[in-house]
């Protein structure tokens, strides 16, 4: 198990879902594991309990290998360190994962476990086997890119994960600033090693990275500006909240200034030089097909992201069929609102009529955030009819921070902390507010908030299952649920405005079109512009939205295919359940089955649904 940030060693699955904070105190993993294994198993209950203890001990042992994961989990240990992103570090992590697998199989007989813990056993084995398989593609992820590149990860991590509750935390913050030079140097070396093997992003990516570097390096103490840089502002605001004497605060600020000038600035200057050098050699070839053994790499990515054996051709054809179906439903809504013209003309009408967007101002952005919050609060009132368990954690709607808003995606979600120190966060990117039309607001809020990712991950973290399941990831399951959560409110009586219902269809259409363009880019050798043109022709999304989306899919091969495939599976299994159970079908129980084991491969989800059906007969 490797809970490190994935920077340059492999591609992130969502790019955007962080490990949560955990309220449990650190454990002595070695002694706990030895205690578990030294006691003989006398009953099935005993062995299941021992396995749970083993899972939790090994989870903590895994997390403690990563200072950055510890911060995400909410444990204040190794707070002055960064992770080791070297190849040697990756090999050590892999060997550690293999040792866990051997330990599990040597000490637990799967046949002795309850069905629930057999599932946990299987999921643990699969996660490690996946990490072993993924290691073959180490270095294939673009270490620096506009979605999850290391250049923006440093300030994002320090702002959102490094807590400063006392002077020791502040000193650790400064130590991390000083340590960023070595850490960034390692990742830059990885990127150069990949480039030497022919693994480089397309030319357009470098412009995004170079712009991010400029944003992060602007302001005091990097220039003569009176405005503090992103990191200086963050550190100062955190120290200002501490009850310290003025001279102590001044000393800390001085040390942070020196760290920014002497460690952070040189590391980014070196990165800038490397990025400009690589840009001069980069090409406009966009797909994974261009990489060494690119076809096999893309096939691996599709399998990993969808958790199916669907080929690129099958996924492409499914996308074309779904786009055609959704276009038909959109034409029905056009008739309902009395619009005469073609579907493409209606798309243009939605893009250009100012009534469909908020004002491009601070007031307009605040209005967007307030309305999205209201939509989520209204949805909360209806959850009891569709869910047996509701999330305890709060949810906040925030706009993406200025330093990364131009590069970041349209919207994304960060998990809450179990101890209540951090809520779940739905981030809306309001940099170009015309890209966030009013008619899509409902579907977007339901996807990222409730009943979508916040319902999914906040509830999952509160389940009585091993921690590795609670904090696990399966993109097809997670994002399939997010897209399903856009559809479900239609059945709950929402989307009363036909334009808002059209927005729901537009969001589903967007995910169907992803199947076409992702496989088009990475398998059929489409150019970036061909993929952009497909979205412009077949969806109502504005040009900038289409450009950013295609650029995202280029640096994250296969990830975008998981949404629609996952949603279709959840809907198909629901319809099968209704047919087999008849009056015994309970939508609340079905949702419990879908979410009750944490994120799982789609084949495992199908098994769980079938077991639930059989249990009621």
d(CA 554, CA 568): 24
Concatenating the DSSP letter of every residue in 101-166 gives HHHHHHH--GGGS-HHHHHHHHHHHHHHHHHHHHGGGTT-S-SS-TTT-HHHHHHHHHHHT---SS
Positive or negative torsion for Cα 487, 488, 489, 495: positive
For 97, residues 6+ apart whose C-beta sits below 8 A from its C-beta are 1, 2, 128, 131, 132
* Residues above pLDDT 90, as percent of the chain: 84
Q: Look at residue 404 in the predicted model and tell me its pLDDT.
A: 80
For residue 42, pLDDT beyond 90: no
- Asked whether the beta carbons of 300 and 560 are under 8 A apart, the reply is no
User: For 230-271, how does the pLDDT look when each residue is reduced to its tens digit (9 = 90+)?
Assistant: 999 999 999 999 999 999 999 999 999 999 999 999 999 999
Whether residue 443 contacts residue 375, with contact meaning beta carbons closer than 8 Å, is answered with no
pLDDT score recorded for residue 545: 87
pLDDT of 104 above 50: yes
Please give the average per-residue pLDDT across 137-160, as a whole number: 93
What is the predicted pLDDT for the residue at 19? Answer: 25
Residue 430 pLDDT more than 80?
yes
Q: Which residues contact 348 (CB under 8 A, 6 or more apart)?
A: none
Question: Which residues are CB-neighbours of 518 under 8 A, at least 6 positions away?
Answer: 315, 553, 557, 558, 559, 560, 561
Average pLDDT over residues 198-211: 97
- Checking if the pLDDT of 33 tops 60, the result is no
The verdict on whether omega for the bond into residue 134 sits within 30 degrees of 0, i.e. cis, is no
pLDDT-based confidence at 44, cuts 50/70/90?
low
Domain boundaries, the chain: 297-568
pLDDT in tens, 260-302: 999 999 999 999 999 999 999 999 999 999 999 999 999 999 9
* pLDDT of amino acid 43: 62
Average pLDDT score, the chain: 91
In angstroms, the CA 421 to CA 413 distance is 16
pLDDT digits (tens, 9 = 90+) for 115-135: 999 999 999 999 999 999 999
Mean pLDDT of 156-177: 96
Residue 146 has pLDDT above 50, yes or no: yes
- In terms of Cβ atoms closer than 10 Å to its own Cβ (0-12, 13-18, 19+), residue 410 is buried
Reported as a pLDDT band with limits 50, 70 and 90, residue 41 is very low
CA atoms within 13 A on the CB side of 412: 16
Contact 461, 428 (CB under 8 A): no
- How far, in Å, CA of 42 to CA of 331, rounded? 65
SS (H, E, C) 501-533: HHHHHHHHHHHHHHHHHHHHHHCCCCCHHHHHH
Smallest CA-to-CA distance from 81 within 1, 192, 5, 165 is with 5
pLDDT-derived band of residue 38, with 50, 70 and 90 as boundaries?
Answer: very low
For residue 1, pLDDT beyond 90? no
Residue 581 binned pLDDT confidence (cut-offs 50, 70, 90):
very high
In sequence order, the 6+-apart residues with CB closer than 8 A to the CB of 338 are: none
Q: Average pLDDT, stretch 591-614?
A: 96
Q: What is the pLDDT of residue 40?
A: 43
Q: Where are the beta strands (DSSP E) in 176-315?
A: none
- Write the CB contacts of 99 (distance below 8 Å, at least 6 apart in sequence): none
> What mean pLDDT comes out for the span 62-74?
91
Token pair 């340059």 in the structure block, residue: 8
pLDDT at residue 4 tops 80: no
pLDDT tens per residue across span 400-426: 988 788 777 789 998 887 677 789 999
Beta-strand relationship, 424-428 and 411-414: antiparallel
Give the Cα separation of 36 and 560 in Å (integer): 41
**CA–CA separation, 240 vs 250, rounded Å?**
10
Q: Report d(CA 289, CA 523) in Å as an integer.
A: 6
Rounded distance between C-alpha atoms, residue 231 and residue 237, angstroms = 10
Please tell me whether the peptide bond between 616 and the residue prior to it is cis, using omega within 30 degrees of 0. no
Q: What region, left, alpha or beta, does residue 466 occupy, with left being phi > 0 and alpha being psi -120 to 50 degrees?
A: beta
């Amino acid at each position: 198990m490797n809970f490190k940030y994935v920077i340059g060693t492999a591609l992130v699955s969502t790019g955007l879902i962080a490990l949560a904070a955990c309220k449990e105190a650190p454990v002595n993993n070695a002694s706990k594991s030895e205690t578990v294994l030294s006691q003989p198993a006398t009953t099935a209950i005993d062995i299941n309990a021992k396995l749970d203890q083993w899972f939790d001990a090994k989870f903590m042992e895994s997390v403690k290998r990563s200072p950055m994961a510890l911060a995400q989990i909410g444990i204040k240990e190794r707070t002055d360190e960064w992770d080791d992103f070297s190849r040697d570090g990756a090999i050590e992590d892999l060997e550690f994962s293999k040792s866990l697998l051997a330990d599990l199989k040597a000490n637990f007989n799967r046949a002795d476990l309850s069905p629930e813990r057999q599932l946990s056993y299987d999921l643990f084995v699969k996660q490690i086997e996946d990490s072993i398989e993924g290691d073959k593609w180490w270095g294939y992820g673009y270490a620096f890119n506009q979605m999850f590149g290391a250049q923006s990860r440093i300030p994002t991590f320090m702002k959102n994960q490094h807590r400063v509750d006392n002077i020791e935390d502040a000193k650790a913050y400064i130590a991390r600033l000083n340590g960023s030079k070595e850490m960034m140097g390692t990742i830059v070396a990885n990127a150069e090693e990949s480039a030497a093997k022919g693994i480089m992003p397309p030319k357009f990516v470098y412009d995004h990275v170079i712009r991010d570097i400029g944003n992060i390096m602007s302001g005091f103490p990097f220039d003569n500006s009176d405005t503090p840089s992103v990191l200086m502002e963050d550190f100062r605001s955190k120290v200002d909240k501490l009850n310290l004497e003025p001279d102590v605060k001044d000393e800390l600020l001085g040390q942070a200034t020196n760290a920014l000038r002497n460690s952070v600035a040189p590391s980014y200057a070196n990165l800038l030089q490397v990025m400009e050098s690589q840009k001069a050699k980069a090409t406009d070839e966009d797909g994974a097909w261009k990489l060494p053994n690119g076809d096999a790499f893309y096939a691996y990515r599709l399998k990993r992201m969808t958790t199916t054996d669907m080929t690129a051709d099958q996924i492409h054809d499914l996308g074309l069929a779904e786009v055609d179906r959704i276009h038909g439903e959109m034409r029905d809504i056009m008739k309902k609102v009395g619009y005469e013209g073609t579907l493409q003309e209606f798309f243009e009408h939605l893009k250009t009529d100012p009534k469909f967007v908020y004002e491009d101002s601070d007031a307009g952005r605040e209005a967007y955030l307030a309305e999205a919050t209201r939509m989520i609060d209204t949805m909360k009132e209806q959850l009891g009819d569709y869910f047996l368990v509701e999330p305890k954690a709060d949810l906040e709607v925030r706009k993406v921070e200025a330093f990364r808003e131009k590069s970041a995606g349209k919207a994304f979600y960060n998990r809450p902390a179990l101890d209540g120190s951090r809520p779940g966060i739905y981030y809306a990117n309001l940099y170009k507010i015309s890209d966030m039309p009013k008619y899509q607001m409902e579907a977007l809020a339901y996807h990222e908030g409730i009943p979508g990712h916040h319902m999914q991950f906040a509830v999952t973290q509160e389940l009585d299952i091993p921690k590795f399941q609670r904090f696990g990831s399966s993109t097809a399951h997670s994002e399939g649920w997010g897209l399903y959560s856009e559809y479900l409110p239609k059945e709950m009586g929402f989307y009363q405005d036909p334009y808002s219902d059209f927005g729901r269809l537009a969001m589903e259409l967007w995910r169907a079109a992803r199947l076409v363009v992702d496989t088009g880019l990475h398998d059929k050798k489409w150019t970036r512009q061909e993929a952009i043109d497909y979205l412009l022709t077949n969806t109502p999304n504005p040009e900038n939205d289409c450009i950013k989306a295609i650029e995202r899919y280029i640096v994250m091969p296969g990830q975008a295919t998981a949404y629609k495939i996952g949603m279709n599976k959840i809907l198909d299994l629901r319809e099968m359940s209704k047919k087999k159970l008849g009056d015994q079908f309970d939508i609340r129980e079905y949702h419990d089955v879908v979410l009750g084991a944490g994120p799982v491969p789609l084949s495992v989800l199908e098994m769980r649904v079938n077991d639930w059906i059989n249990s009621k007969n």
